[in-house]
Structure 1
Amino acid sequence: MADDKQLMAQVKQWILEAGEEVKRKLQDPLIVEQKSSRTDLVTNVDKETEAFLVEKIRSHYPADQILGEEGLGDKPETTDGRVWIIDPIDGTINFVKQRENFCIMIGIFEDGLGKLGFIYDVIKDEFVYGGSGTGVFLNGSPLKQIEDVPLSEGLVGVNGTMFVNNYMSTRNVGLASSGFRILGCAGLDFLHMFMSRQCAYVSNLAPWDFAAGMVIGHALGLRCSRLDGREADIIGERVPFVIATPSAYEEIQALVIAAG
């Protein structure tokens, strides 16, 4: 079995290859389908990118479990062993409507513990990857532990629906910050966190949306959990999720508790 650094280099190359193919396919008409609603879309590129990554994992690590958004991997019922969690195109509606502001993401866990995360903004060519055992890198340059910025002094990324409805105090969180942003792509919000562009991100996320960001966030000294403070299950359901600097995290928890 490859060590963490070898595995990191290998997966990084797979994702870069996938990104080049995604850019090429953007020159052609997309095949777009609705899943649960008109804002929940899947394209041929989502499916083909997941198939490419699953094939790479299967051919090199056949004993590993894979959880992918488009269902081309397994349906893990346990976190024993190594589990790969894939979002082939995070921000699909941005991908379809804007042709940018989307990411490829992979999180790798061993016996439930985060080992490596990868988040690649394909169009801007911003690639953050790594974990606690390897360090975290932005396009090859090491990233440092993130400054503990309080909520009032930082920007916050939020989920639009949660903000409008003030679900679990999300609007209160946004208003307590220096400003709130709605990007429609978890990967981009995670990248902003890791590059110290914002101090928190609150959204309603499935495991493939948060897995990579949670691994990298923990490695950089950030707090990550369900919005109610409980641990996020990497093979569970979609949940309200928060990642934040330690100070902002405590302030957000206080706002959530105060709202009941």
Structure 2
Amino acid sequence: MIIEIKEWLKEAAGFIQVSLTQKLRVSQKSGRTDLVTNIDEETQSFLVKKIKQNYPDDRILAEERGFDKIESLNGRVWIIDPIDGTMNFVLEQENFCIMLAVFEDGIGQLGFIYDVMKEELYWGGKNRGVFLNDQPMVRPKDASLSEGLLGMNAYMYGKNIHSAGEIGHASMGIRVSGCAGVELIAMLKGNHIGYISNLSPWDYAAGLVLMDEFGFRYSNIEGKPLAFSKREYFLAATPKAYTEIQEHFIQNSK
């Protein structure tokens, strides 16, 4: 399965790279900053077709084309974000990822985050470790909030939603990439100590599998388990930083 998925992702990435030389069809979903392109939809269709051909009994949760809801995570479920960071894809032509996860009975088994333009595949699985292409990665330091950079949703930071602004000030600084995959990669590399945003399941599923292997903690912003059924405020961080962020949140909620 791992070899198959790697081949699918590299083929999909090649298709996306070629598409950047052509005119994109861009449309809005919920508003002018929530975009979808024909390449998002075609990439998802390609991955869905591969899964259905090879694993016809499995179920799929994905961002586009009516796959965005699922009754439960029972059995084997594939969770796909065909292009995470569509705004970056359209306007920057970099800083976007393909993300794919495999869950079985609600437990993450495999996770893949492909930085398309850098041709870097971050992948791993339960009790397998985490890899960058074919090289094993080293578990990052368990740094505190004051020791590192924090990935952040710009709107949450600017409006101080759930004390995001105050938490950002307590860190060494915030960084905003506009792509959950890029932010999760920064955590896996040890460049960031955490990430606070407003995400859907396909934005975080692959990253959770990899973060589990490195001992990161994650939940919704209130410390409750992620729902996997809706967009919600998301928190992931090193164990030390996670505890400190939760303390900030609790203190400022009183």
Question: Which amino acid letter does the alignment assign opposite residue 240 of structure 2?
Answer: S
What's the % identity of the aligned pairs?
A: 49
Q: Is 2:44 the counterpart of 1:50?
A: yes
Q: Is 2:209 the counterpart of 1:241?
A: no
TM-score (norm 2): 0.97
Measure, in 2, the Cα distance between the counterparts of 1:8 and 1:135.
13
1:72 deviates by 4.9
Measure, in 2, the Cα distance between the counterparts of 1:252 and 1:240.
13
2:243 to 226, 240, 250: 250
TM-score (norm 1): 0.95
1:158 deviates by 0.2
Measure, in 2, the Cα distance between the counterparts of 1:60 and 1:71.
20
1:189 to 166, 183, 192: 183
Measure, in 2, the Cα distance between the counterparts of 1:74 and 1:202.
22
Measure, in 2, the Cα distance between the counterparts of 1:226 and 1:182.
19
Alpha-carbon RMSD across the aligned residues, in angstroms, is: 1.0
Query: Is the 1:47–1:88 contact (alpha carbons within 8 Å) kept by the matching residues of 2?
Result: yes
Measure, in 1, the Cα distance between the counterparts of 2:196 and 2:18.
32
1:127 deviates by 1.2
Mapping of residues 1-260 of structure 1, within 5 Å? 7-73=1-67, 75-234=69-228, 236-260=229-253
Q: Match of 1:199, SS? A: strand
The number of equivalent residue pairs is: 253
Query: Is the 1:102–1:121 contact (alpha carbons within 8 Å) kept by the matching residues of 2?
Result: yes
For structure 2, which runs of at least 5 residues remain unmatched after alignment? none
Q: Structure 1 residues 74 and 185 mapped into 2: Cα distance closer, same or farther (>3 Å)?
A: closer
Q: Match of 1:75, SS? A: coil
Query: Is the 1:150–1:248 contact (alpha carbons within 8 Å) kept by the matching residues of 2?
Result: yes
